[in-house]
Amino acid sequence: MNESLTMFGMPKTLFDKIWEAHLVANVQGGIDVLYIDRHFIHEVTSPQAFTGLEQRGIPVFRPKQTIATADHNVPTQNQHLPIQEELSRFQVDRLTENCAKFGVELYGLGHAYQGIVHVIGPELGITQPGMTIVCGDSHTSTHGAFGCIAFGIGTSQVEQVLATQCLLQEKPKQMRINVDGVLPKGVSAKDIILYIIAQLTAAGGTGYFVEYAGSAIRALSMEARMTICNMSIEMGARGGLIAPDETTIRYVQGRKFAPEGEAWDRAAAYWQTLYSDAEAVFDQEYHFRAEDIGPMLTYGTNPGMGIEVSGHIPNEDGKNFVKALEYMGLQPGEQLIGKTVNHVFIGSCTNSRIEDLRLVAAFIKGKQKAPNVHAMIVPGSKLVEAQAKAEQLDVIFRDAGFDFREPGCSACLGMNEDKIPRGEYCVSTSNRNFEGRQGQGARTILASPLMAAATAIAGRIVDVREELN
């Protein structure tokens, strides 16, 4: 947007307001130099960036604005012991060495704040409304739930941010997705986002930054909003954001790194100016009704291939569709309901927060997992794990036969030992059902925590709405 126009009060989107507040300069050709407030790093996408700094002989420009954790490539059992797998141990050790050498705060294994990078930022109050946040991880969009411009970057860009606290970015197009109405019983934020992606396809948001709005979004807790924004990338969008409101401000207040005293008052007042003006124009806009959304499941090999739990797998032409169903061992016209499932994974940056765990615990309390099922619950962070234990949720999980682990990305991407065997189905609360994502040949069915819990108890896919009645 042209600066002279904005001075005359041209309506702006929430995204415009944050972008303009971080604009350092403009390069020829429409690329902006964007200032980055917070930079999260982890062991997998940072080592080559640090090597780059070493080769250039330059320091981290603003080390206090980068926060590190180990999450992708860590075991979820016996974290107090040295990592068994040699390559993984070496990679995690490199992160420790790099952080020490360059003065970056590390919440590594054994630290009370360790966890999945997109879980710890918000819960520690590092993520705050109006910020620009990046990380070498596509699910950085999670932080958009606070009204942030947050997006994933490649390792070359990690190096740029370490070196200069800035990024060269083309301003994306803007989309608004409105969800109005009241969600039916048994339907959650995960179902909203799976429904949206099924409607818009896995590439429907490419080139866009998305703002989620509407009464059904406003009604969500911060953790539920994070689930929505988290999966923006699964429709191709760089990120998604939600205007901060009372729910946001209440969530941030009092957290470890949240502002205090006068600084808090100033920040909270500023955050209340962060919304899209009534007349703001979006390049693309969609409207959905919460009442139309049911528990969702994916049947294919990208997150856009989703249906309602009682729906039938569509029949589409094309080699890609056929290949996806062949990989999944499914037929067009088939229903997923009733299908035997031997693996359930509850975790990942999409659904591993305390509310997710509470929801699962409330559902499975007093029940037993089906004998055929291995049900794994991996908390998003040490703080989530500690909270779950304080509420004795861990007892409920163990009594029901669930395998309650230590924090990490785990079976979402199968970088560590937590893999689903070839040919087996896994109902998973994670974000991607790509071929081999959870292990070579593994067949992923994405679902909400409640649907995953119900599957674990029944040993087959059921409609959780019927279990709740």
Element containing residue 47 per DSSP (H, E): helix 47-56
Which range touches another protein (CB under 8 A), out of 9-17, 130-138, 329-337, 375-383?
Answer: 130-138
**DSSP states of 389-423 as a string?**
HHTTHHHHHHHTT-EE--SSSGGGTT-SS--PPTT
444 lies in the binding site for another protein (CB under 8 A):
no
Strands of 181-232, DSSP E: 208-213
Nearer to another protein, 254 or 423 (CB): 423
User: Of the candidates 2, 9, 29, 57, which one interacts with another protein according to CB under 8 A?
Assistant: 29
Sorted by sequence, the CB contacts under 8 Å of residue 114 that are 6+ apart come out as: 69, 70, 71, 107, 108, 120, 381, 382, 407
Buried-exposed string 413-433: b where 16+ CB fall within 10 A, e elsewhere: bbbbebbbeeebbbbbbbbbb
Helices 222-230 and 354-364: angle between axes, nearest 10 degrees: 100
- Reduced to 3 states, what is the DSSP secondary structure of residue 129? coil
Nearest Cα residue to 190 out of 220, 168, 158: 220
Under 8 Å between Cβ of 72 and 152: no
153 lies in the binding site for another protein (CB under 8 A):
yes
211 lies in the binding site for another protein (CB under 8 A):
no
33 lies in the binding site for another protein (CB under 8 A):
yes
Nearer to another protein, 233 or 396 (CB): 233
Under 8 Å between Cβ of 229 and 141: yes
443 pairs with which residues across the strands? Answer: 425
CA distance 84 to 451: 34
> Minimal distance in Å, beta carbon 256 to another protein?
22
Nearer to another protein, 51 or 342 (CB): 51
User: Of the candidates 193, 200, 415, 451, which one interacts with another protein according to CB under 8 A?
Assistant: 415
Nearer to another protein, 23 or 219 (CB): 23
73 lies in the binding site for another protein (CB under 8 A):
yes
User: Of the candidates 202, 229, 231, 461, which one interacts with another protein according to CB under 8 A?
Assistant: 202
CA distance 216 to 185: 13
CA distance 105 to 120: 13
254 lies in the binding site for another protein (CB under 8 A):
no
**How far is residue 275 CA from its own chain's centroid?**
22
The answer to whether the Cα torsion of 52, 55, 56, 59 is positive or negative is positive
47 lies in the binding site for another protein (CB under 8 A):
yes
> Minimal distance in Å, beta carbon 53 to another protein?
9
203 lies in the binding site for another protein (CB under 8 A):
yes
Would you call 116 exposed, middle or buried from its count of C-beta atoms within 10 A (0-12, 13-18, 19+)? Answer: buried
User: Of the candidates 1, 24, 112, 362, which one interacts with another protein according to CB under 8 A?
Assistant: 24
Nearer to another protein, 140 or 276 (CB): 140
CA distance 198 to 119: 25
319 lies in the binding site for another protein (CB under 8 A):
yes
User: Of the candidates 138, 174, 352, 448, which one interacts with another protein according to CB under 8 A?
Assistant: 138
Q: Contact letters (x/-) for another protein, 295-314, by CB under 8 A?
A: -------x------------
Please tell me the total number of residues recorded for the chain in this structure: 469
10 lies in the binding site for another protein (CB under 8 A):
no
DSSP state of 206: T
44 lies in the binding site for another protein (CB under 8 A):
yes
276 lies in the binding site for another protein (CB under 8 A):
no
320 lies in the binding site for another protein (CB under 8 A):
yes
35 lies in the binding site for another protein (CB under 8 A):
yes
421 lies in the binding site for another protein (CB under 8 A):
no
164 lies in the binding site for another protein (CB under 8 A):
yes
359 lies in the binding site for another protein (CB under 8 A):
no
Footprint of another protein (CB under 8 A)? 24-25, 27-31, 33, 35, 44-45, 47-48, 51-52, 56, 58, 61, 72-73, 87-88, 90-91, 94, 136-138, 152-157, 159-160, 163-166, 168, 170, 172, 202-203, 206-207, 233, 236, 238, 302, 318-320, 323, 413-415, 422, 432, 434-437, 440-441
